[in-house]
A and B are shown apart, each in its own frame.
Chain A
Amino acid sequence: MSEVLDWLRSSPLLGVFLTLAGYRLGRELHERTGGHALAQPVLVAIVTVGLALWALDVEYDAYLTGAGIIGFFLGPATVALAVPLHRQAHHLRELALPMLVAIPVGAAVSIVTAVLTVRALGGGDTLQRTMAPKAATTPVSIALSDTIGGLPPLTAVLSIVVGILGAVAAPAVLTLLRFRDHRARGLAMGAVSHGIGTSRALHDDPTEGAFSGLSMGLTALAIAGLLPLLFLVI
């Protein structure tokens, strides 16, 4: 039995299988709950795989020998994000100036307030760098975290959580603050809660969803450009 387990721990098969199985379970749960924002397939997958690794006593590095094969495709998938951005780009003309000001300023505000809040409450430099890119869509935030010296896995989870926060709470907060314009609402949701917020926006209103998607793509680029510059001054 221990021989079988040893083989399993060192085989790439385990990582690939667990990742796919966890994701499959997550999708199932997402469907069964009628697409509830809390039942994000990725979150369910992370918890399931984490528990399985703990139960089978498999190290994270050993898991990566297989899971790394799946993770590799995150690179080309990040490049592929240009396609939805391209599809939404015609909306840019409708609202060019407000958008070209609000999105970079919003990105800067997200980064600076994240870093300063963590710092004020005693979080170290690495944690500040981990928190800084979290408003970008998860594939981009993971890559940015790695580039600026954060902890990419933690940034991934923070991005997912901030996405869920947006899907659950952003519409209510925006309504409470009397933001009724669908375009302004969509742009704000995409800027802070990326893809997960966008799926909620799409569910509420097609215009809100389109602008949220556009905002998510532009925000990812704005955060990528601003991060190294802002870290020189804050």
Chain B
Amino acid sequence: MINGLLWLLACQLAGEVVVRALDLQLPGPVVGMALLFVLLRWRRPSDESPTIRAADALLRHLQLLFVPAGVGVVTYLTLLREDALPIAAGLLVSWLAGLVTVAGLVVLLRRRRA
């Protein structure tokens, strides 16, 4: 478990250092995720390996981990109320556009190949 957590933290650390050193507009943990993905494809560890087990343990309660960030919304209640229309419309329009684009493109590209 400790070894697994160390691997996850090492990837995050590497990601944080890389984005700062190269001045990238990316979050360190996302670069760390890409790095771990490459490592996993390369080493192909079993489901019993410490890294996989630590990852599964953290992801089991993933929702718990973003409660603290989400609670911060209490400080933006006025903004939510004042900008309710752009927020609701932006959410709905962009969600529908993304959904139809992806489903449509997949179907279209498969048909062309067939």
Interface of A toward B, CB cutoff 8 Å: 15, 19-20, 22-23, 26, 40-42, 45-46, 49-50, 53-54, 60, 63-64, 67-68, 70-71, 73-86, 89, 95, 97-99, 101-103, 105-107, 109-111, 113-115, 117-118, 120-124, 127, 131, 134-135, 138-140, 142-144, 146-148, 151-154, 156-158, 160-162, 165-166, 170, 173-174, 177, 179, 181, 183-185, 187-189, 191-193, 195, 215, 220-221, 224-225, 227-228
Q: Which residues of B contact A115 (CB under 8 A)?
A: 90
CA distance A41 to B113 in the complex (A): 42
7 interchain pairs, CB-CB under 8 A = A23-B64, A73-B58, A85-B37, A98-B106, A118-B86, A121-B89, A177-B103
B95: chain A residues at CB < 8 Å are 110, 135, 162, 165-166, 192-193
B1 within 8 A of A: no
| Chain B interface helix/strand/loop/mixed | helix
Q: Are A114 and B73 in contact (CB under 8 A)?
A: no
CA distance A196 to B90 in the complex (A): 19
Partner of B66, one of A42, A84, A124, A154: A42
Question: Is the CB–CB distance between A83 and B71 below 8 Å?
Answer: no
Given A79-B8, A109-B98, A140-B27, A89 and B68 contact (CB-CB distance below 8 Å): no
Once the chains bind, are A117 and B66 in contact (CB under 8 Å)?
A: no
In the complex, the chain A residue whose C-beta lies closest to that of B14 is A79
Residue on B with the closest CB to A154?
B76
Chain A residues with CB under 8 Å of B83's CB are 122-124, 127
Which of B66, B89, B100, B107 is packed against the most chain A CB atoms within 10 Å? B66
The residues of B with any CB-CB pair to A shorter than 8 Å are: 5, 8-9, 11-12, 15, 25-30, 32-37, 39-41, 51-52, 54-56, 58-59, 61-76, 79-80, 83, 85-87, 89-107, 109-110, 113
